[in-house]
Each structure stands twice: as C-alpha cells, then as structure tokens.
Amino acid sequence: MLKSIENSFKLSDKELINIIKNFRFEMDSGLRGQISSLKMIPAFVDRPTGKEKGRFIALDLGGTNLRVLEFSLNGQGKASKIKENKFLLPQDCIKGNSSQLFGFIASKIKEFSSTDFQKYLGFTFSFPVKQTSINSGVLLHWNKDFSVKGVKGKDVVDLLKKSLKKEKINNIKVSALANDTVGTLVARAYADHNCDVGVIWGTGTNACYRENLQKITKYKTGKKSGHMVVNIEWGNFNKLKATIFDVILDETSLNPGSQMLEKMVSGMYLGELARLVLLDLMKEGILFKREQKLFKKAASFKTEYMSLIEADKTSDLSATKKLLIKLGVKNSRLEDRLFVQKICKIVSLRAARISAAVLTAVIQKIDPGVNRRHSVAVDGTLFEKHPSFAKNVNITIKSILNRKADNVKLLLTKDGSGAGAAIISAIGE
C-alpha cells in the first residue's frame, strides 16, 4: 500500500522535463495573450537601480494580517525599516464587502501616519490582479479564502484612494501597486543586480521574473528595448499529473478546477493532502487501527505538523508521538509513526520537485543555456521553515541542470513584500 502511494506521488526526471516543457509553452502563450493557465501579468516595473532614496510607506495585504510599514532607502542598495504596525483582519474584512475591507485599511493607515507632509505609498496586494499601470490594477478573482464582495473587476488602488478620502487622509499618494512576489524580487534586486526571479513558497505560491519587453507581445509599448517584471501567477498551472488525493482535494475546495499547482505545492494545502492519504490508510485498517474517527475533519492536519514530523530525528519519533497524542491518537505504535512520517515526506518531496521544475523553466526562459548567474529572491514559511523543502528544491534543480545549477542561487528574502512595495513606490513617485 505504501509503495503504491509513493509511486502515485513520484515524479521521474523525465516527467520533470515534461513539466518544464509544458510550463514554457504556457508562459509563451500567456505572453502572447493566448489561452494559457498562466496569466503572465505585466507588473509595470523593472528591477530598481539601487539609487532610489527617501522615506516611503508600504502597505501589505496578502493574508489574515494587514501590515503598514515605513522604510528609508539610502540610494546605495540599502532599505531600512523605520516602523511597522500589524493588524489582524476581522472576518467582515475577509468575507464582507469592499467598504468594510478598504475602510479598515484606511483607518489603520490613519493611525500609522499622523504627519501632514506628502508621503508616497506602495500597496502590496497579493491576489491575482490585472495591472494597467504601475499604480492601478483590477482584481481578477480572490484566493486564500477571501470572498469580499464588490472588489472583483474593480481597480483596488481606486478603492483604496476613495477610502483614504473618506478618512480625510490627503497627504498620502498611492504611487505603486504590486503583489508580494514582485515585491520580493524588487527588494532583493535593490542591492543584488543578479536577481531576476522572485518566488513565494508559503501559504500560497507564485513567481515573477524579468522579461524583455519585446517578448510581452500582448502588451503594446512601442518600445524597442527594455525590460519589465512579469507576474506569472504560477499557482494556476494545470499541466500536472494528479493522484486520487489531488482530485478529492480539488473537488472539495472552494475553487475546484483552478490553482492546481498551488494545491500540490503550497502550505495551505500540503497538510490537507497528507490528511487525505492518512485517512485512506486508516480506512484500509493499515494505520491507527483503533482510532477510526481521527482526521475526519477537513484541514485538521496542518502543514506545520508535517514540518514537525519530518524534522523528528529521535529513535522512537517521540516528538511525533507527542503531536499525535495532541491530535487524539493516545497509543500510537512506532510503526504508525514511521508510516505518518513517510507519508509527510512523500507529499512534501513531490511539492519540492514540482517547484524546482517550474522554477527551472522560468530560469531557462530568461537564459536558455543558464550561462549567467541568477539570484532567486524567495520568501515564505514553507521555504524558510520546512526541514527539507528548500534542500529538495536545490537537489532537484541540480539533477536537472547538472553543473549549470551553480549559476542559480535561491536566497531567502524576508519581508520582501514590505521593502519591495516601498522601493516600487520610489520608482513610481
């Protein structure tokens, strides 16, 4: 049974090459404005020069917390955080209407910035947006369990401006809009001019990269040279082999049929995938034979549990045993605990190998021979905190690119969504 599960999640090197090929095809189709699972959204910003300077406000909305920050840019590639406030979003801001969400945001900006002199604000809005300029963009659809009414199809910067006006905040100019992925690339690139890719591996997952303007044929600029960052929205890539567990997860999700890569890779879903496998093993009488009611509730097995279990190096998996007791398994056998750990490793390894394949596709899109150095700015708890995810991504890239893998450096870029928004606001000032 375990071998069968392992085989269903396994990706051979040949299958990885096929993923790369399909991903490249979808990228090219998206850049041409043709049918593609990848939106390939122009971000209307290029890599910073590193000479941008001044003090800027960053607004970061991408999950259950709202952050308002202020950064100082010294014009020599260094961004320093001056101040930060974090606010938990009430449920009516996640499930309510636009006036509740943007009214809340404006009120917190008012609390944060009390001075009268002009300030420029960069807005990190980490949801799928079709940008029309550096400081405007229309929400395509919500994800991450958000379902705020009256925002889809609207310019989110315009909604923010109207809320600021209602709060009588007249000294803040929203000069830039970006998502967290673009912000992460820009934050690293402020000091590192080898940085041309940004990736998020956390609750959700996405990537962006620096593209030649002439190749973004759906965007008519009239310019014969230059570059622009493109937001791939790679979580929706759908040319992937699915297991029965992926099918069940997708069918019971809030957005069946979409975000297929994200459902195989991101922290929001990996724990649920592992739960579905464990539940199946329990139904077959292979695992926790006396605990038939365990893990019946969706999302009851979190991705952070996987991290703890996979990091457990004790001879009797005592940390895993302690966690299982907390989850209701009073008398687990060592055999059970080893089984659980193996399932977690199978699920997270596939996530890392898919991630490595699509990242390699992006690098090869920029530089087909991977002959130059490429810094990849990465943020997200899955990359930072999972015990083997980052290592397995690097191992897989090495297996695909061989010696050329030395030209690809994955660099943790914490808080890129904050610093990046401030830097982009300086560019858009």
Is residue 67 included in any domain, yes or no?
Answer: yes
Q: Which residues pair with 74 in a beta bridge?
A: 53
**Hey, what are 20's tokens?**
């790369």
Of residues 37, 60, 67, 192, which has the active-site annotation?
A: 67
Give the confidence band of 220 by pLDDT, cuts at 50, 70, 90: confident
- Distance from the Cα of residue 171 to its chain's centroid: 32
**Hey, what are 316's tokens?**
């009797």
Collapsed DSSP state (helix, strand, coil) of residue 351: helix
Backbone angles phi, psi at 306, to 5 degrees: -60, -45
Active-site residue flag, 24: no
Burial class (CB within 10 angstroms; exposed 0-12, middle 13-18, buried 19+) of 187:
buried
The answer to whether the beta carbons of residues 130 and 138 sit under 8 Å apart is: yes
pLDDT digits (tens, 9 = 90+) for 124-161: 998 888 888 999 999 988 877 788 999 999 999 999 99
Active-site residue flag, 379: no
pLDDT digits (tens, 9 = 90+) for 53-83: 999 999 999 778 899 999 999 998 888 999 9
Give the span between the Cα atoms of 246 and 253, in whole angstroms.
10
Is residue 408 included in any domain, yes or no?
Answer: no
Give the confidence band of 219 by pLDDT, cuts at 50, 70, 90: confident
Q: What is the pLDDT of residue 221?
A: 67
Instruction: Tell me the residue range of the domain where 123 lies.
Output: 44-191+415-428
- pTM: predicted TM-score of the whole model, two decimal places: 0.92
Looking up residue 106, the CATH number of its domain turns out to be 3.30.420.40
pLDDT digits (tens, 9 = 90+) for 247-268: 999 999 988 999 999 999 999 9
Give the span between the Cα atoms of 151 and 186, in whole angstroms.
26
**Hey, what are 265's tokens?**
């890779």
Q: Could you tell me whether strands 136-139 and 205-212 are parallel, antiparallel, or unpaired per DSSP bridges?
A: unpaired
Give the confidence band of 414 by pLDDT, cuts at 50, 70, 90: confident
The answer to whether the beta carbons of residues 218 and 203 sit under 8 Å apart is: no
Is residue 229 included in any domain, yes or no?
Answer: no
Give the confidence band of 333 by pLDDT, cuts at 50, 70, 90: very high
Contacts of residue 92, defined as CB under 8 A and 6 or more positions apart, other chains included, come to: 100
Is residue 244 included in any domain, yes or no?
Answer: no
Contacts of residue 4, defined as CB under 8 A and 6 or more positions apart, other chains included, come to: none
**Hey, what are 402's tokens?**
């061989």
Is residue 253 included in any domain, yes or no?
Answer: no
Radius of gyration of the chain (CA): 22
Q: What is the pLDDT of residue 210?
A: 97
Give the span between the Cα atoms of 128 and 175, in whole angstroms.
19
Q: Which residues pair with 122 in a beta bridge?
A: 58, 176
Is residue 184 included in any domain, yes or no?
Answer: yes
Give the span between the Cα atoms of 265 and 48, in whole angstroms.
30
Of residues 60, 155, 180, 196, which has the active-site annotation?
A: 180
Please state which of the ranges 283-292, 310-319, 402-411 shows the lowest mean pLDDT.
Answer: 283-292
Is residue 135 included in any domain, yes or no?
Answer: yes
Reply yes or no on whether the pLDDT at 348 is more than 70: yes
Is residue 419 included in any domain, yes or no?
Answer: yes
Active-site residue flag, 367: no
Domain count, the chain: 1
Of residues 36, 113, 126, 175, which has the active-site annotation?
A: 126
